[in-house]
Protein backbone atom coordinates (compact mmCIF):
# COMPACT_ATOMS: atom_id res chain seq x y z
CA UNK A 1 0.00 0.00 0.00
CA UNK A 2 1.09 3.55 -0.64
CA UNK A 3 -0.24 6.97 0.10
CA UNK A 4 -0.45 9.74 2.64
CA UNK A 5 -1.67 8.88 6.14
CA UNK A 6 -2.44 11.78 8.44
CA UNK A 7 -2.44 10.98 12.15
CA UNK A 8 -3.56 13.25 14.97
CA UNK A 9 -1.70 13.12 18.26
CA UNK A 10 -2.65 14.78 21.50
CA UNK A 11 -0.17 17.49 22.50
CA UNK A 12 0.54 15.56 25.69
CA UNK A 13 1.47 12.36 23.81
CA UNK A 14 3.72 13.76 21.10
CA UNK A 15 6.96 13.43 23.06
CA UNK A 16 6.12 9.86 24.00
CA UNK A 17 4.77 8.54 20.70
CA UNK A 18 5.82 10.56 17.66
CA UNK A 19 9.35 9.23 17.16
CA UNK A 20 8.35 5.59 17.74
CA UNK A 21 5.35 5.96 15.40
CA UNK A 22 7.42 7.53 12.61
CA UNK A 23 10.09 4.83 12.98
CA UNK A 24 7.57 1.97 12.97
CA UNK A 25 5.64 3.28 9.96
CA UNK A 26 8.84 3.87 7.96
CA UNK A 27 10.01 0.34 8.77
CA UNK A 28 6.72 -1.56 8.37
CA UNK A 29 4.98 0.54 5.69
CA UNK A 30 7.62 2.19 3.48
CA UNK A 31 5.00 3.20 0.92
CA UNK A 32 3.21 5.45 3.42
CA UNK A 33 3.98 9.13 3.76
CA UNK A 34 3.17 9.85 7.40
CA UNK A 35 1.93 13.27 8.40
CA UNK A 36 1.48 14.09 12.08
CA UNK A 37 -0.79 16.82 13.40
CA UNK A 38 -0.84 17.73 17.07
CA UNK A 39 -3.55 19.54 18.97
CA UNK A 40 -5.92 19.21 21.88
CA UNK A 41 -8.59 16.53 21.72
CA UNK A 42 -11.46 18.80 20.64
CA UNK A 43 -9.54 20.07 17.62
CA UNK A 44 -8.37 16.58 16.68
CA UNK A 45 -11.92 15.24 16.89
CA UNK A 46 -13.19 18.04 14.66
CA UNK A 47 -10.41 17.42 12.11
CA UNK A 48 -11.18 13.69 12.17
CA UNK A 49 -14.89 14.31 11.70
CA UNK A 50 -14.12 16.76 8.85
CA UNK A 51 -11.91 14.20 7.10
CA UNK A 52 -8.66 16.09 7.66
CA UNK A 53 -7.22 13.18 9.69
CA UNK A 54 -7.20 9.48 8.86
CA UNK A 55 -6.92 8.47 12.51
CA UNK A 56 -6.29 10.12 15.84
CA UNK A 57 -5.72 9.62 19.52
CA UNK A 58 -8.53 11.28 21.47
CA UNK A 59 -9.98 11.29 24.94
CA UNK A 60 -13.40 11.94 26.43
CA UNK A 61 -15.40 10.65 23.45
CA UNK A 62 -18.91 11.03 24.80
CA UNK A 63 -20.44 12.49 21.63
CA UNK A 64 -18.74 11.72 18.36
CA UNK A 65 -20.01 10.84 14.92
CA UNK A 66 -16.68 9.08 14.22
CA UNK A 67 -17.69 5.56 13.17
CA UNK A 68 -14.74 3.57 14.48
CA UNK A 69 -13.52 4.12 18.00
CA UNK A 70 -11.58 1.78 20.25
CA UNK A 71 -10.32 2.49 23.77
CA UNK A 72 -6.56 2.01 23.94
CA UNK A 73 -5.86 3.02 27.52
CA UNK A 74 -7.81 3.46 30.69
CA UNK A 75 -5.78 5.38 33.20
CA UNK A 76 -6.07 6.05 36.88
CA UNK A 77 -5.54 9.67 37.80
CA UNK A 78 -3.82 10.67 41.01
CA UNK A 79 -3.99 13.82 43.07
CA UNK A 80 -0.81 14.62 44.97
CA UNK A 81 -1.34 16.33 48.29
CA UNK A 82 0.53 16.92 51.50
CA UNK A 83 -0.03 14.22 54.13
CA UNK A 84 -2.03 16.77 56.12
CA UNK A 85 -4.76 16.70 53.41
CA UNK A 86 -5.86 13.33 54.77
CA UNK A 87 -6.30 11.55 51.43
CA UNK A 88 -5.41 7.86 51.11
CA UNK A 89 -4.10 5.99 48.07
CA UNK A 90 -6.32 2.98 48.81
CA UNK A 91 -9.57 4.99 48.66
CA UNK A 92 -10.94 6.70 45.53
CA UNK A 93 -11.72 10.38 45.99
CA UNK A 94 -14.43 12.30 44.15
CA UNK A 95 -12.94 15.11 42.11
CA UNK A 96 -14.88 17.76 44.04
CA UNK A 97 -13.35 16.52 47.29
CA UNK A 98 -9.83 16.46 45.84
CA UNK A 99 -10.30 19.96 44.43
CA UNK A 100 -11.03 21.28 47.93
CA UNK A 101 -7.63 20.08 49.23
CA UNK A 102 -4.21 21.69 48.81
CA UNK A 103 -2.20 19.96 46.07
CA UNK A 104 1.31 19.76 44.73
CA UNK A 105 1.86 20.52 41.09
CA UNK A 106 5.33 20.31 39.63
CA UNK A 107 6.47 19.71 36.05
CA UNK A 108 6.14 17.56 34.08
CA UNK A 109 2.33 17.48 34.41
CA UNK A 110 -0.37 18.08 31.86
CA UNK A 111 -3.13 19.15 34.22
CA UNK A 112 -2.87 21.06 37.48
CA UNK A 113 -5.58 22.00 39.92
CA UNK A 114 -4.15 24.50 42.44
In order along its 114 residues, the chain shows pLDDT tens digits of 899 999 999 998 898 899 999 999 999 999 999 999 999 988 998 998 899 999 998 887 766 666 677 777 776 777 777 788 777 888 888 877 777 776 655 555 555 555
pLDDT confidence of residue 60:
73
Task: Report the alpha-carbon distance of residue 53 to residue 34 in Å, rounded.
Answer: 11
Residue 58 CB partners (closer than 8 Å, separation 6+): 8, 10, 41, 44, 45, 48, 64, 69
Helix (H) / strand (E) element for 27: namely helix 14-28
Q: Are 44 and 52 in contact (CB under 8 A)?
A: no
pTM above 0.75, yes or no: no
CA-wise closest residue to 56 among 20, 22, 16, 5:
5
Amino acid sequence: MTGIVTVGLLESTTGLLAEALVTAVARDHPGFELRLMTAYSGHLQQWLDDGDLDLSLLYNLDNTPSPNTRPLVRERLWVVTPVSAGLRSDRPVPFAEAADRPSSCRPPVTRCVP
